[in-house]
Every structure is written in C-alpha cells, then in structure tokens.
Structure 1
C-alpha cells in the first residue's frame, strides 16, 4: 500500500480552486435540474460521481486532474442532495442545515476514533480516503443548505449572505493566525465555509433579477467557471502532498 498522500496540500491555490468548484457546482446543478427532468438527472449525476470517486479511491497518489474532477463532481452532486432534501422532500433549511451538521460531526467522530486523526496530511490509505470523501460530501451538502438558509429563510439575499460567510472565513483565518484554533479545526471549518461562499456569489451572478441576481444565467456561469477551474488546475499542477515525514509531524497538530 502506498504511503503517499492522496490529496493536495491546502495552499492558497487549493482554496482558490475549491471556491471555484463550489460556485461551479451550484450553477451547473441548477442548470441541469431546470433544463432536464430532475429525477433522472440526479440519478445520472450520482452514477457519474460514483465512477469518478471509485477511480479516485484507486489512485496511489495525488493526481491533480482526478482529484479536482472528483471535487467538482461533489460540488454538483452535493448541491443536488441539498436541493432534493428541500424541494422534493420539503425539509426546511432550518432543519436540513443542522441535520447535515450532525452528520458531519458523526463522520469526524468515527474518523477520529478509527484513525486517530482527521488531518488531511495523512490521507494515505483507502479507508482514510473514504472518511475524507464522506466528510467532503457532507460539507458540500451542509454548506449548500446553510447558504440557502441565509439567502432565503433569513432573507439576506445571495450577495449579503455570501459576505456574511466571507466575514466568518476571515474570523477563522484570524483565529488560526493567533493560534486560537488548531490547523485541523481551521481547515475543516474553512472547508465548510467555502461552500456557501462560492455558491452564494455564483447564485448572485447567475440567477434572475427577480430572485436577487444579475441574470447572467446558470449555464454561462457554470461554463466560465469550468474553464477557469481547468486553467487553475493546469497552472497549479506543481502542488504535491507533504512528504511522509512532514505528514507524520502534522499528525500531532489538532
């Protein structure tokens, strides 16, 4: 079994691409379910996601195109999960958001008890990859619900709602810079927040004026973001996981 990490180091480039994938996932999901029959669209998306995820799980190291392709599919599928929960099942965002949060906490608790750490510098086995992607999927679903909760239920709108999450992200950065919270806590908190940040601004640009957007269109926004993501991944292919020794040292950071 390879001891190399299967996911990238969380650098500034990582966070840039992450936000881009969240916005793209939101826009592309909305485009697909409004242009095609939602039920088969969700099923096809789920099948494609599972195929990409299986290939990612079989990887023996971090492969930029495969990893970010999987994250992008999570962006689309995670949005659909949250939307189906609200639209098809009629679950209010005030309910679905804490439910997804509880699910995320459960993933972390099980991951921590099983592996001894939830640090992303130690994703060196298939089992740890399974925990990692379970957490990623849940953060996308929860982030989508939280963003819609702020924009719709709390009536902040997409722009103001997005700015609220940006402010929360700044607080996380400051808390990490002053050592109030540890690296692992800061990473996963930021990972959750990037979802509603990207989704809120994508909705603000794409959705019609009547819904508080700029009416650029979900199709155009998703296409532009896909192109930007492709260029960003190509430009940042030098990103590599930490060495085994560094990963071992990072294991002690909580």
Structure 2
C-alpha cells in the first residue's frame, strides 16, 4: 500500500531554478552528444537515430516501471530524448531534404498534436498529473517531439535566418526572459508557460551546443564534441548534487 505522501507525488521533478539549469545543460549535451555519434564517429544520422531511439525506449520503459521519482533515471531519460531529437531532426532536415523550415513546421504539428491528444485523453497536460503510465507515455512522447523541434528550430534560426549561434542564443534567451516575466507579472496559465519554456530551452541548448563544437570558420569555438559533452555531463551531475531534486506534487 502506498502512503498518502507517496500518492501525492508525481514521477517528475518539481519545477525550480535548478530544474531549468539542469534542463538547459541536458539539451546542450544532447546537441554535442548527438553530433559526436553521428558526425565525429561518422555513423550518420540514420544509424545514430536508431541507436539513440533504442536508448530512449529503454529509458522510458524504466521510467514508467519505476515506483517513484528517481532523479538520475529521470535526467538520463531527458538526455535520451534530446540526443535522439538531435539526430532525428538532422536526419529529417538534411538527409530527407525537407529543410529546417519544413522540419520545424512538421515537428511543431506533431508536438501540438501530442499535447492535444494528451489533453483530450486525460483532461490536463500539467506535469502535476504525471503519475500514471498513460500520463507518463504522453509526457515522454511530447518531450521527444519538443526536443526534436528544438533542434530543427535552433538550426533554422542560426543558419537559414542568418542570426548565427550567438544571435540565435540571444533570441531564445530573450524569449525565455519574457516567459519568466509573464510567470511573475501575469495570470497566464502556468502549464502553458511551462511548456513554452520547456520547448524554448531546447533550441537554446542546440545553438549553444553548436557554438561549442562547430568550426571557427562557421562561427563556433571548435571544441572537441567529446570534451564538451563530458563537461556538460559533469555540470549536470554537479547540479543534481547542488540542487536537490524533489518530486512534483500531483494534481487531479
């Protein structure tokens, strides 16, 4: 039998400053890690997507089967979604030839469709409702679409729109600042603001990751993808130690 305390906790973390810092690091790691496998290891986008898709499915199954919130398991699953999102978006944009704009529009439609199906099925897309296998399945599918969209959107802004990595980072950082202002200065739905921020942290991580590992001639810092990934993973682990991760309180 579950205690009242266990019944009142979701299997996802409470949304705090620490959550967002670790989330941005995870999305940046997804970009450098995904590129390390697909480009540095020369495995290509399709093979890399297959590898990361398997890891994603294994992590999601483990997350759903867990009886309670486990920070390391949760963030490992987030990393799995962001790495598969990186290679999947690159495969769609570059290998399939639909371009960044086409890929972004397609992934936006999939993301909105996932949120709509989730809301129509369970009545809410709030993270506080993620305490059942069905809600978790919707949660992770939605996150996977948002991570993939973020990669395509980041690449489109930095490359096609011509803003470059730093310019794109400024744009997405400013949009996140507006969401933060709306969080404390308006009565806009907190669930809507959460998903808007969650989606926008991914293209921010994508352009920061590209800035770290792309060649100097392309506007990057030409850092090793392996060393950048290791540094980001170390930052995440330090963040987990510094910012205690508590399970979000459920809502019905």
Aligned residue among 224, 246, 249 for 2:231 = 224
Q: How far 1:41 moved relative to its partner?
A: 2.9
Give the corresponding residue for 1:12.
17
Give the corresponding residue for 1:129.
136
Q: Is the 8 A contact 1:100 1:141 kept in 2?
A: yes
Q: How far 1:176 moved relative to its partner?
A: 1.9
Map 1:1-254 → 2, pairs under 5 A: 3=7, 4-34=9-39, 35-38=41-44, 39-236=46-243, 238-243=244-249, 247-248=250-251
Which portions of structure 1, spanning 4 or more consecutive aligned residues, are displaced by more than 2 angstroms? 1-4, 39-42
TM-score (norm 1): 0.92
Distance verdict in 2 for CA 1:105–1:206, change over 3 Å: same
Q: Secondary structure at the match of 2:248?
A: coil
- Gapped regions of structure 1 (runs ≥ 5): none
Query: Which shows bigger deviation, 8-17 or 171-180?
Result: 171-180
Q: Secondary structure at the match of 2:57?
A: helix
Whole-angstrom CA distance in 1 between matches of 2:153 and 2:169: 11
Q: Is the 8 A contact 2:52 2:84 kept in 1?
A: yes
Q: Is the 8 A contact 2:157 2:163 kept in 1?
A: yes
Whole-angstrom CA distance in 2 between matches of 1:117 and 1:200: 31
Q: How far 1:180 moved relative to its partner?
A: 4.5
User: Over aligned residues, Cα RMSD in angstroms?
Assistant: 1.5
Q: Is the 8 A contact 1:208 1:217 kept in 2?
A: no
Q: How far 1:60 moved relative to its partner?
A: 1.5
Whole-angstrom CA distance in 1 between matches of 2:70 and 2:172: 30
- Gapped regions of structure 2 (runs ≥ 5): none
Whole-angstrom CA distance in 2 between matches of 1:45 and 1:205: 22
Q: How far 1:175 moved relative to its partner?
A: 1.5
Q: How far 1:95 moved relative to its partner?
A: 1.0
CA displacement 1:52-85 (0-9 Å, x = unmatched): 1111111121100000000011111111110110
Alignment: residue pair count = 245
Q: Secondary structure at the match of 2:246?
A: coil
TM-score (norm 2): 0.93
